[in-house]
Each structure stands twice: as structure tokens, then as C-alpha cells.
Structure 1
Amino acid sequence: MASCADILRSEFPDLDGELFAYVTGILHGSGADFESVDELEEAVGELLREVSQDTKDDGAIREICQRLFNTLQLDEGQAQRCSQVLLDAPIQLSQITDGYGDTSADLLPGLLLKRGQTSMVNAKKLEKAEARLKAKQDKRLERDSLKSSGPVVLEEASASQASSKKETRMESSGKNKSYDVRIENFDVSFGERVLLTGADLNLAFGRRYGLVGRNGLGKTTLLKMIASQSLRIPSHISILHVEQEVAGDETPALQSVLECDTTRESLLREERDLTAKISSGRGEGTEGARLSEIYAKLEEIEADKAPAREFSGGWRMRLALARALFARPDLLLLDEPTNMLDVRAILWLESYLQTWQSTILVVSHDRNFLNAVATDIIHLHSQRLDMYRGDFENFMKIKEERLKNQQREYEAQQQYREHIQVFIDRFRYNANRASQVQSKLKLLEKLPVLKPVDKESEVTIRFPDGFEKFSPPILQLDEVDFYYEPSHYIFHSLSVSADLESRICVVGENGAGKSTMLKILMGELAPVRGIRHAHRNLKIGYFSQHHVDQLDLNISAVELLARKFPGKTEEEYRHQLGSYGISGELAVRPVASLSGGQKSRVAFAQMTMPCPNFYILDEPTNHLDMETIEALAKALNKFRGGVILVSHDERFIRLVCQELWVCENATVTRIEGGFDQYRDILKEQFRKEGFL
């Protein structure tokens, strides 16, 4: 069988020396790392497509990659033949071996071209390919090192980006003073899945960007790549990232917020060290001058006023936001900041962020929040990022108009192509029309290739009906008292009721007892005094705001249902998951590798498996994308059974709920005017407190 070098020379006779050396170097140096032809094609396929100059289609490139892969599977002697590179000029091997795996542009000049020959490949693409390959090798080494320890090793995110020599020079010289963020021509992957390819992200300083897109497409991953600086950000730009799930620790709230201001903390630490040196007589004589500089800087940043800027709340998300807003980073990354926040806190956050002076990039599923905060929308879809000026409603209008125009252009061109093709077919063998036919053929070749509109699949959710005619009462609390500590009543004389046609939303501040009331209604908590009554045939399905804690993350969604509800076929489990958008490969991946929204869908599939006739849902929209929230609202409206839910999502509440219960002052009050009245009450409170 031919060697890899023979295959490349045969299939690409015009291949220049630089690319030939690069490709054969990858095949020789990394052949053992390719576990499939897909991995080999990912490493070199794009480059081979480019140098083929459209003479070979994707199928031909795939076939060549298969031949290369087969060759690499032979014995070591044959595999070594892949490294036999013949060039018309010498190569400094030290420059190649010493820099192997380096993603910098300095590696490329070491590979010499034939005399007078220019490279046919964009150097940035070579760099990105090298970066992807190196990331893959690093992950495989890490996986191999953990195999003996036993636990499931999850896929990891990686990013590759072509370097800009101009930006590198400006960065090293200290001339780059701009606070705009420009990340050009980058790729992001999660394990083997490509999330973004050849993407550009431009964030102008001082603008507030909303990042939207379907669950699982990579919004959270992109924020993490920026925060970890896997994508290059100028070093003088400070970044702070508030994630979806915020872990708690034992640090007191005020201290944790103040410590987040790293400039203030470092100056105070240095001031203490210098003072200690002077006091102990260990100083070198320069401490006094430095102390003067530090005091001037502390005065400039108003360090003495720091405690007044703290505004911690009772929940981890509030504390995380307090840290972020206190630190005042140049680039603030927020991932679903409204998760777990009550309506009052969301209204406050909207108002505060509208006055934010630096740049914000926020992932959110809350349409009202984005309309209030965002000056621009970034739409992640089809492995790319599209930018739109304006709030979310403006984005929806422009996107729909773009899609309509794109479809009209595509249909018009198809008709034009068909018209020309009819002429060609009619007169193809007419000698008198030969010149016209040739002209029409050339015209067809020159027409740009337009693609039909890539419409996103519609999200559908359906809750199985459990409606039966029950005689009242269905679910009721009568004069209920409840406390965890006798000195602090959570509820006093609480009386509420619901039936199989109820659509009730419970609102109130964090800590007011909303989740506690739901657990009393379900019977998980017993009243201290009073009576809970539930119909004997009532089957309640419960969705917890901490639903992830109820899922075994180390097994697949199919396995999870099989363990929870044994005795059914795999097809039945897959059908149940497919009803909530967890289909195909997603159903057999470890649950831990799914996005937040996908985990929520698994929880819905698990909750509805026994066909309840009443649902109690605690923050069901957290982590879901907007399309899934709309589908969830439609499903609840069609469901023939009762619903009580806790939610902060204004649009979702308006779509679903007919009653609004406000949880406050150890009781529950029914608001006759619905959400509009509740929002007006909160705004009036803000005005009295001086926030508006």
C-alpha cells in the first residue's frame, strides 16, 4: 500500500512544500492519536479541501482521508514512511521539533517553500488546525491518566483562534489602550462537537449585549472560554463571570464582596506590608515614596467608601451579582442572572444595569429582562454569531424580515436557474444556438450559490393528560401554621385551595416561604397547626428549582428513566425523552455533559412519566431557552389537570396563569389584578425607597 506521502503526492500534485511538510508532520507525529477517520479529517480535511481548489468534493476528500487513516493503521515501519518528505530546500529540523505543537505563527517560517512558490493556504487556518490538534492531544492524555481512577471523564470545551501579529505587537508594546473586545476567526468545541467555527465577536465598550440561542448550542461554553481567556482578550481588560449555578462558601457576605475588588485588596495588602517593614526597621528607604503612591491610588478609587457599595441579598445569586457589580469589571459576563431571583430583585437589577458604564455580555431566557437591559443582541445559531442592534423585540422583527428576504432571494434565484436550464435543455443540441447555450452555461456557473432558509426545528412539549372528575376539595390548606423555629413563623393562619382547573402562580421575595408552601401542599412538610387536605386520587408531579440535585449525573438519560421506572423497553424511554427534545445521541450521553436546559428537559421527562393529574413547579423556566419556555407554556395550557407554579418570568406568567398569589408577611394574598397590579405595587415600593 502507498505511504501517506505517496497518497498526498498522487492526489495533490501541486501541493506546496509548506503544506506538504505540515500535513505529513501531523500524520507522522500524531497518527497514533487518531481514533477514527473523523478525527483525521477534522485535523487535515479542511486544508486539503482548500488546496484542491474545488476539484474534489467532500466525498473525494473523505475517501482520501480514509486511505490515509488505513495507512496509519499498518505496522510501525509503514507508518514511519509518512515522514519521508522530499523538499527542494533544506529544513532546519530543530525549528520544527522544538516548536512542535506550538500554535504561534513563529513555527511557519521554518517550513521552506520551493523556489518562487507561494503558499496556497491561509496561515491562520494552519494555526487553528494546530491548536485544535494540540487541544485534542492534551485532552486524550488527561483522559488516559484518569482511566485507572474509575469515575466518568466528561468532555471538555476547547477554543482555537488565529493569532494577529498586529494585536500581539500592540499588546507587547503597551499601545493597546482600547477597551473594545474584538475576537476574530475563532472556533469553539465541546468534546467532539463543533459549537462555533470561523466566528467573530465584536463588543464595543459601554454597550450591553444579550446572547441568545437554543439550549445546547454553546452560549454558556462561549462565556467560559472568554472568562478563562482561552480566547484572547487584551490583558488590561478586567473580566468577571457570574455563572448559572453559583456555589456557596463560608465567606461572610460583606467580606466576599469587598475581596472581589482586587485592585483595592492588592493596594491595602501592599500598604500593610510596607508599614510592617518600616515599623520593624527592615525597610530599604524607598517604602515612604511607595506608600504615598498607594495612598493617592486608594483615594482615587474611593477605597474608604467601599462598604457603602455593598448590597448583598439572601441568596447565592444575589451575592454573586453583588460581587460582580461591586468589582466594576471592564467586561461583565452574566449567565442567566435572573435564575432564582424574585421579581423585585429582577426589577432592581434591570434598573441598575441600565446605568452600567462598561461592557456587559449576558445570556438570558427572560425576554422582558433583555428588552429592559440589552442595547444589542447576539444570536448564536448554525455554528456562527449574528449581531443585531436594539433590544430583543427589535431582534425578533429584524430576524424574521431577514429570513423572509433570504427565502425570497433563494426562491427567485431558483426560478431564474430553472428558466435558464430550460433554455439549455431545449437547445443543447442545436448548432445554431450553440453560442447562446455556452453563454447560458457560463451564466449559471457565475451565479452565487444561495441556500434555503435554515429554519430551527419547532420545540414541542406535551404533558400526558391525567384529568378525572374529582369531587372537591382537591388540594387545600386550612388555617395552617408552620415554622422551623418557634420564634419565627413562616406561615400563620394560611388558607389556600386549588382544583384541577387551577393555573396559579406564586410570587414573593426570596425567603418569603414560596418553596416551603409548595412542600406543605405536597405533604412533604407537615403543618405545626391546621389541616392539609388532598383528594385520595390526586397524583402530584413536582419540579424542584434544584432539579439537577435529583438526577444521577453519571448515567445517561435513558438509564436514568430505566432505573426510576423499570420494566419498559428502551424505545419507550427514548420516546418519553424525545417528547422533551432529548433525542438521538443526547439520550445516551452522561447527563452531566448536557447543558442546563437539557438537564431541565430530562427532569420534565422523569416528572411526567407516571402521568400526574396535578403539577407543582418551582422555577420551571430556569435554564430553558425562549423557544422551550413558549412550548412549556402551551403544554401547560393544554394539560387537563391542575397547576401551581413559582416563577419570576413575566412573559411565562402572563401566558399560563389565571391567579396570582403573593407570599409575604407569613401569609398568602390573592392579587385580583394579576401581574400588572403586582408589578405596580413593586414599582411604588421602589419609588418610596428611592431606587426609582
Structure 2
Amino acid sequence: MATYVDILKSEFPEIDTEVFDYITGVLDSGGADFEDGEEVYDAIGGVLQEVSADSKNEDDVRDICLQMFNTLKLNHHGPQKQLLLDAPVQISQISADVCATEDIQGIWMMKRGQNTTVDAKKLEKAEAKLKAKHDRRNEKDSQKPSTPLVLEEASASQASNKKDNRVDQSGKNRSYDIRIENFDVSFGERCLLQGAELSLATGRRYGLIGRNGLGKTTLLKMLASRNLRVPAHISILHVEQEVEGDDTAALQSVLQSDTLREELLTEERTLNARIASGTADGMESVRLSEIYGKLEEIEADKAPARASVILAGLGFSPKMQQQATKEFSGGWRMRLALARALFARPDLLLLDEPTNMLDVRAILWLENYLQTWQSTILVVSHDRNFLNAVVTDIIHLHSQRLDSYRGDYENFIKTKEDRLKNQQREYEAQLQYRQHIQVLLLQYRQHLQVRLLQYRQHIQVLLLQYRQHIQVRLLQYRQHIQVFIDRFRYNANRAAQVQSKLKLLERLPELKPLEKESEVTLRFPDNFEKLSPPILQLDEVEFYYSADQPLFSGLNLSADLESRICIVGENGAGKTTILKLLMGELTPVGGVRQAHRNLKIGYFSQHHVDQLDLNVCSVELLLNRFPGRTEEEYRHQLGGYGITGELATRPVASLSGGQKSRVAFAQMTMPCPNFYILDEPTNHLDMETIEALAKALNKFRGGVMLVSHDERLIRLVCKELWVCEAGKVRRIDGGFDEYRDILQEQFRKEGYL
């Protein structure tokens, strides 16, 4: 590979020796500090321009500087070359006084002789310039923590209903229905909803769906913060943030979420203490009786058992229920937050992608639990089967408005298609009617012009006849006038009809053409050669993180480019560990991992957001990860995953969860892997994107291995289902249906159904 010295000699063969030494000295001393080709041009571009005279223009010199920068970067990141001394060094011959007065490291650090021909002043000036840039960069980096990225904020506004406000403030409003009319929601300068209406009837379960980035999560936040007016007596709970870790046991944390019960129990303990100490004034006994009555009314004695059932359903073992919340990971704390919400039973429960943190077993339990929920639920979910099992209504967010549909998701798909067809027919009929009216008007205008011309000609003839035969033809003239009058009356009637048609046209409601949502398409590049199987294999693998707690033993797995494998199992069973063993990130304690020498794995982590630089835009993200390509290539790559136009230049932190996932897909597929390992890839994706992901994986000619809880994706893509449990991985021939039946049977045995 050519070095910057080779490039310099080939592009400027007649360069002066001193200038050549000066330029190589600048590049040699500051190569690691240059950030891009422009900085190289700033340092030596002027000198090269003078050397080239008229043979090269400014753009040519910039291209040459970019080529030299690329070679510098390769040398900087590549393996360090060993430095060879010009002659052997005899340590014994170095005098003691030299060792005492001089730095002995100098003999090892010397790179070249001191009799260089480089202009010392010019070199000193260039090095000072590089040092200044380095200092500015360090100063900028040191300021980053103190100047965090400022993101846009969401806001909401709505038309005020004075009657509802008065009823709400008077405390007479006992209805638990929610109706919010004519409201807007914005995120920064982007309008998400405009003139929208939202109606939530008490006791119904609503699924809020829509494409990524349209504002579903923002709408939940506006409701939870009451930026949109919800009657004050309606309690709202939004499961958004994980429980804060402390010494409180998980079961106790759930019990504490029922604030009424906690307040009554605290007051009961206080009153009993005062009665026992003899400081009571007589009213304590009366109040204590009232408290006991209220505790019995809310069935406070059954609360620990109910909380334990909820925790067990979400995967908490009896031992885990007694663990302190600070001992749990973020995913388990999110489950704990969901358990607290289910136990507290608010009037309006807001759930944002509740299945993201759950395994298939916990999802099935949650479906069964929510089907008996008495109050109102508004849930954002991409899980088609979860929506079909839980919700009674669908709210579709699109085109800055909300449309409501009765029934589950499957009924929504059918009803939406019928509604769109009717709207299209209505639009086409009105368009045809408008065109018909316009044709009639045009025909009448043409007819009127012809008749007017005939009338003028006829008048001229009449006038001529009148002047010539005024005495003789008077009677005939009167008859002609009568004919004219009759004709005029006829035209007047036609004019009235035209006016009525014009008014009818004005009264017609104006319909806009239907805005059809663009189809989501994903594509995984597969321009690679076929590999002979098996390409990835685990043979009798044993693995543990600590010797006293073995995780796997006798683990056997095999995959090739035809594989479509899904691994399921409860959280903590070791599914992600298996993926890391397959990728080689973890080394087996026993057994062997075998991989084809040309295997190239693309990995999608369930924590992919943590691996993205949130402070840069998507284009810069790919540039930093895969340097040396044009901006057009980066934009084309992102565009293939729906990150187009202004989205590609916004900070990644400001994107929605689904849009961040698409950026992660674009980053993962850029090196063109021939085998994909995807850990919970559907988290945060909308249903249209999940369908597109399934189609893309089915078209992909390489191998695919999934860890997923999304039943729809599993059914569409996977040919093999492997269950991870009790330190083993076993194949289920009956696929997902058999696995679902196994879990339902476990629920019945454990008393959850």
C-alpha cells in the first residue's frame, strides 16, 4: 500500500528537497493529531499549491491531502513498527556522570539524526499549529460533560370547554370516561397531532398503534403529566421508568404502590401505639374502628397474596420476591414497575411496549391478567398477538389525527381496508361529479356565447328592416319583439339553473386525496458466496460464570446458511449467553466452538441503543464507524431503513425508539454479513416494520438465529424452535403452538389460570 511519501513523490516529482523534508517532517510529527483531510490541507496545502504552480488546482491538492490523511490513519491504527538502532549500545560504556545528568531514555527514543534539512522555523510553526488544535480539542472534550445535549421538548394544547371545567372543579363529575376534543401535540417544531380527538370509555382496553416517530409515546406522556386535561378524580399511572433500587424487598415495593392501604396501615400502627402507651384521648378507638372497616373494605389482608401472584406471573420466584430492589437489573426493575402498576389498579393505566421486557411465558400470563382488568387501559404495543388477546378497541395514529376502531387488531385491519375503500370511492365520486358540473358550465357558456352572437346578428337585421320598413312592417316588428321576449325569458330561466348549480358546487365539502402511508421495506444485502455447512457449531459445550453455579453442560447446536432458528425461554435462562458463545464473545469452559473461516456475523443486541452515540446524527454515526465513504453512500444506507431527509441529520438522541432501531439495523448491515444473530430485534418497532423485517429475513440468503418473544415474527420467519431451560437447549418439533400449550398447562398447574 502506498505511503504518504510515495504519494508525494508521484504527484510532485520535481519537488525541492528542502520542501519535501519540511512536508514529511510536518506529517511525521503530527500524523496522529490530524482529524481529517481538511486539517492536512490547512497544514501543508499552501506549500503544495506553490510547488505545483499551475499544474494542479485547489481541488486537486485537497484530494491529494485526503489520500495522505488516509495513509496516515492506517499507519496510526496499524501495528507499531519496531525501532532499530543504528549501532549496538554498550550500557557499560555509559559513564555514571552522564547517567546522572542526562535522561537515559533518550538513547532509546532517538528516531533520526539532528542534521535534518527541514526548515526549523517552518517546522516549529507547523508543530505549534498542530499543538494549538490538539489543545482546542482537549478543551472541547473536557467541556462535554458540563454542556449536555439539549433535546426538544413536547407540548400540548387543547380547546377549553368551560362547562366541563366548571363540573370538574365543583367535584360533581363522577364519570370515569375521558373525552379530549380539538387538541394539538407538538415535539419541538414538529406537529404530531393537530385538531385531534380522543375518547376513552371506562372499562375498555385500547391499543394505540401507528408508525415509529409519529408521537405515540409522547401522547402517553402528555396524558400522564395531565398536559391534556383529564378529570382530576381519575387516577393515572404510566409505566415508563424502572423502579429505583434500594433495600426495599420486591414484594414490599409492590405493596407500597397501594398508597391508600399504606396510609391506613401507618395510621393504625400509630393509634395502637398511643392506646398501648395510655396517651389516647378516647377518640382513637372510634377512628381505629373506621380504619379496620376501610381495610376490610379494600381487602387489605389479601394484598400480600395478590402482589405475590402478580410478581410470580411476571417471573419473580419466591426468593426473588424477597430480594432488595437494588439487586435487580434494569429489565427486572421495569417488570417490578409493571407489577406495581397492576397491583395499584389505577383508573387509567398507560403501558408503553409492556412486552419488550418480558419472555413468552410472562407475556401469556399478562395477556390473561389484563383480560379481566376492570378499569381503562391505553397500551402502545407492536405485538400483534398481544393486541388481539387484550384490547377491545384500536386507536390509529396517522396523518396528525386519531381514528378509533372497535375490536382487536385483526378487525382493525379489515375495517381500515373497508373504510379506505369507501373513502376512495367517495372521493372519486365527488371528483367525477365536480368534473360533470364543470363540463355542464362550460357547455352552457359556449351555448350562451353562440346564442348571444345570434341575438346580436338578429338585432342588426331587425334594425335594418325597421329602418327600411318602419311603416309597412310595424306589425311584423311587434311580432319579432314578442319572439325576442319569449327567447329572453327562456335564457333567464337557464341562467337561474346555472346559479343554483354554482351554489351547489360551493356547498359541497371539499375532500382531499387519501394520504396512503408509504410501504416499509427493509433489505439485508446478500452478495456473498455460499459456505459449505456446518458454518457455526457448538459441540458438548459447558459454560458457567462461577464454578458453583453451572449454566450449561452438554450444549450442542449447529447452524448453516439455510438456518432460521428461534431460541425461546424465560428471562435469565441463558439465551443471550448462548448467542455470545456462538459469536465467540464468550469462551466455553468445556467443549468446542467451531466456525467457518469466512463466516461474518451481524449482531443486533437487545440493548442496541446503549451502543449508539446519541450526540451525533445518523450520517456521522456511520461515518465514524465506517470511514472513507461518501455522504451519499451513508444516506443511501440509512434510507434503506427509513431514515431519510431531515431524520438523517438530527441527533440520534432525538429519534424515537423505533427509529433508533432502524439506525442500528443500518449500522449492522453495512459490512454485509452472511449470518445474522438478532437478540429481541422487534423491541420498539411498529407492526409494519416488523412485517418488513420478516419479509427481508425470508429473502436473505444467509443464516438467521433469533431470540424473540414476538409470536408473529417467529411464525413468519423461523423453521426451528429451540427452548432454553434448566441448563439445556431442546428442539420442539411442534413449533410455537406446542410451546404455547406447554406454558398454558404450566399456568393451570400453578393456579394462575
2:516 aligned with 1:455: yes
Per-residue CA deviations over 1:281-336 (Å, capped at 9, x if unaligned) read 77676444333322221221122222111232352343222111111111111111
1:491 matched to which residue of 2? 552
Per-residue CA deviations over 1:408-427 (Å, capped at 9, x if unaligned) read 11111111111221122222
Match for residue 378 of structure 1 among 395, 401, 405: 395
Match for residue 329 of structure 1 among 346, 349, 363: 346
2:575 aligned with 1:508: no
Q: Are residues 184 and 542 of structure 1, via their aligned partners in 2, closer, same or farther at CA, if it must alter by over 3 Å?
A: same
Kindly provide the amino acid, as one letter, of the partner of residue 450 in structure 1: L
Instruction: Name whichever of 275-284 and 222-231 sits farther off.
Output: 275-284
2:662 matched to which residue of 1? 601
Q: Helix, strand or coil: the match of 1:428? A: helix
Is 1:481–1:491's contact at 8 Å kept on the other side of the alignment?
yes
Match for residue 192 of structure 1 among 183, 189, 202: 189
Is 1:466–1:641's contact at 8 Å kept on the other side of the alignment?
no
Q: Helix, strand or coil: the match of 1:339? A: helix
Partner Cα separation in structure 2 for residue 464 and residue 240 of structure 1: 44
Is 1:183–1:231's contact at 8 Å kept on the other side of the alignment?
yes
2:445 matched to which residue of 1? 428
Match for residue 620 of structure 1 among 662, 681, 684: 681
Is 2:243–2:337's contact at 8 Å kept on the other side of the alignment?
no
Match for residue 168 of structure 2 among 165, 168, 171: 171
1:222 matched to which residue of 2? 219
Partner Cα separation in structure 2 for residue 288 and residue 147 of structure 1: 61
Partner Cα separation in structure 2 for residue 542 and residue 640 of structure 1: 16
2:499 aligned with 1:482: no
| Aligned-residue offset at 1:560 | 1.1
Kindly provide the amino acid, as one letter, of the partner of residue 687 in structure 1: R
Is 2:243–2:336's contact at 8 Å kept on the other side of the alignment?
no
Partner Cα separation in structure 2 for residue 475 and residue 607 of structure 1: 19
Kindly provide the amino acid, as one letter, of the partner of residue 520 in structure 1: L
Is 2:242–2:336's contact at 8 Å kept on the other side of the alignment?
no
2:740 aligned with 1:679: yes
Is 1:205–1:358's contact at 8 Å kept on the other side of the alignment?
yes
Match for residue 518 of structure 1 among 552, 565, 579: 579
| Aligned-residue offset at 1:273 | 4.1
2:696 aligned with 1:635: yes
Is 2:641–2:663's contact at 8 Å kept on the other side of the alignment?
yes
Partner Cα separation in structure 2 for residue 300 and residue 216 of structure 1: 45
Partner Cα separation in structure 2 for residue 561 and residue 304 of structure 1: 57
Kindly provide the amino acid, as one letter, of the partner of residue 249 in structure 1: G
2:245 aligned with 1:249: yes
Is 1:239–1:329's contact at 8 Å kept on the other side of the alignment?
yes
Partner Cα separation in structure 1 for residue 232 and residue 279 of structure 2: 34
Partner Cα separation in structure 2 for residue 686 and residue 407 of structure 1: 47
| Aligned-residue offset at 1:656 | 0.6
Instruction: Name whichever of 367-376 and 483-492 sits farther off.
Output: 483-492
Match for residue 669 of structure 1 among 724, 730, 733: 730
Q: Are residues 668 and 295 of structure 1, via their aligned partners in 2, closer, same or farther at CA, if it must alter by over 3 Å?
A: same
Match for residue 304 of structure 2 among 281, 288, 307: 307
Q: TM-score, with normalisation over the residues of structure 2? A: 0.70
Instruction: Name whichever of 636-645 and 286-295 sits farther off.
Output: 286-295
1:343 matched to which residue of 2? 360
Is 1:553–1:590's contact at 8 Å kept on the other side of the alignment?
yes
Q: How does 1:29-428 map to 2 (within 5 A)?
A: 149-243=146-240, 246=242, 249-250=245-246, 251-275=248-272, 286-310=283-307, 311-312=310-311, 313-314=315-316, 315-428=332-445
2:134 matched to which residue of 1? none
Partner Cα separation in structure 2 for residue 466 and residue 285 of structure 1: 87
| Aligned-residue offset at 1:429 | 4.1
Q: Aligned residues: percent identity?
A: 79
Indicate the structure (1 or 2) with the bigger Cα radius of gyration. Answer: 2
Partner Cα separation in structure 1 for residue 586 and residue 192 of structure 2: 44
Kindly provide the amino acid, as one letter, of the partner of residue 442 in structure 1: K
Q: Are residues 277 and 556 of structure 1, via their aligned partners in 2, closer, same or farther at CA, if it must alter by over 3 Å?
A: farther
2:322 matched to which residue of 1? none
Q: How does 1:489-568 map to 2 (within 5 A)?
A: 489-568=550-629
Instruction: Name whichever of 277-286 and 226-235 sits farther off.
Output: 277-286
Partner Cα separation in structure 2 for residue 182 and residue 266 of structure 1: 32
Q: How does 1:582-601 map to 2 (within 5 A)?
A: 582-601=643-662
| Aligned-residue offset at 1:218 | 0.8
**Structure with greater proportional helix content:** 2
Q: Helix, strand or coil: the match of 1:493? A: strand
The count of corresponding residues between Structure 1 and Structure 2 is: 546
Is 1:317–1:341's contact at 8 Å kept on the other side of the alignment?
no
Instruction: Name whichever of 199-208 and 618-627 sits farther off.
Output: 199-208
Partner Cα separation in structure 2 for residue 163 and residue 271 of structure 1: 43
Partner Cα separation in structure 2 for residue 618 and residue 358 of structure 1: 34
Partner Cα separation in structure 1 for residue 260 and residue 658 of structure 2: 36
Is 2:694–2:717's contact at 8 Å kept on the other side of the alignment?
yes
Partner Cα separation in structure 2 for residue 298 and residue 383 of structure 1: 46
Q: Helix, strand or coil: the match of 2:356? A: coil
Q: Helix, strand or coil: the match of 2:233? A: coil
Per-residue CA deviations over 1:240-296 (Å, capped at 9, x if unaligned) read 1112x6465234311221111111122223334445556677767644433332222
Partner Cα separation in structure 2 for residue 419 and residue 389 of structure 1: 37
Partner Cα separation in structure 2 for residue 375 and residue 340 of structure 1: 23
Partner Cα separation in structure 2 for residue 680 and residue 151 of structure 1: 50
| Aligned-residue offset at 1:371 | 0.7
Instruction: Name whichever of 647-656 and 176-185 sits farther off.
Output: 176-185
Q: Are residues 229 and 280 of structure 1, via their aligned partners in 2, closer, same or farther at CA, if it must alter by over 3 Å?
A: farther
Partner Cα separation in structure 2 for residue 610 and residue 627 of structure 1: 25
Is 1:504–1:658's contact at 8 Å kept on the other side of the alignment?
yes
Is 2:533–2:561's contact at 8 Å kept on the other side of the alignment?
no
Q: TM-score, with normalisation over the residues of structure 1? A: 0.76
Kindly provide the amino acid, as one letter, of the partner of residue 388 in structure 1: Y
Partner Cα separation in structure 2 for residue 236 and residue 602 of structure 1: 42
Partner Cα separation in structure 1 for residue 242 and residue 669 of structure 2: 28
| Aligned-residue offset at 1:360 | 0.8
1:575 matched to which residue of 2? 636
Partner Cα separation in structure 1 for residue 678 and residue 547 of structure 2: 28
Instruction: Name whichever of 592-601 and 465-474 sits farther off.
Output: 465-474
| Aligned-residue offset at 1:691 | 2.6
Partner Cα separation in structure 1 for residue 678 and residue 687 of structure 2: 18
Superposed CA RMSD in Å reads 2.0
Instruction: Name whichever of 598-607 and 436-445 sits farther off.
Output: 436-445
Is 1:466–1:612's contact at 8 Å kept on the other side of the alignment?
no
| Aligned-residue offset at 1:441 | 2.6
Is 2:167–2:173's contact at 8 Å kept on the other side of the alignment?
yes
Q: Are residues 363 and 497 of structure 1, via their aligned partners in 2, closer, same or farther at CA, if it must alter by over 3 Å?
A: same
Per-residue CA deviations over 1:377-420 (Å, capped at 9, x if unaligned) read 11111111111111111111111000000001111111111122
Kindly provide the amino acid, as one letter, of the partner of residue 689 in structure 1: E
